[in-house]
Amino acid sequence: MEEPKKIIEHKALDLLDTYSGANNYILYLKNKKELNKKFYPTRSQTNYIIDYCNVKPKVARKWVDLDSYFGEKFAKEKYLLETPKKVYIEKLLVEISLVPMNYQSETGAK
């Protein structure tokens, strides 16, 4: 008899049980699971756990300039009195390229 396929969320829960990496978000979800026995990850959390449980975060420790629009939006969301101009980046948890692979510049070069 074949073993039934695991639900994707169950796979993510198993990965959380054995996770020992440095990704703060996955560690946060692992802690949430340990504190709440009824914890069940959402589909997006499940996909994140599965996709990035083996990716080692890069340590950045740099100040990065904020775009004025994003700074204002951040200040509004966090109820800050002043709009931040810079933000400190401790780690890059995931590196994603937002430029399509077949992107061509105005000169036509790839």
Along the 110 residues of the chain, how does pLDDT read in single tens digits? 455 567 899 999 999 999 999 999 999 999 999 999 999 999 999 999 999 999 999 999 999 999 999 999 999 999 999 999 999 999 998 877 665 555 544 445 44
Domain of residue 18, residue span = 1-55
Are residues 49 and 3 part of one domain? yes
Contact 27, 19 (CB under 8 A): yes
Are residues 74 and 39 part of one domain? no
Are residues 61 and 12 part of one domain? no
Are residues 66 and 81 part of one domain? yes
Are residues 48 and 12 part of one domain? yes
Measured CA angle at 40 (ends 38, 42), to 5 deg: 155
The pTM assigned to this predicted structure is 0.70
Q: What interhelical angle do 24-35 and 8-18 show, nearest 10?
A: 100
**Does residue 38 fall inside a structural domain?**
yes
Are residues 71 and 34 part of one domain? no
Instruction: Measure the CA dihedral 10/92/77/75, to 10°.
Output: 170
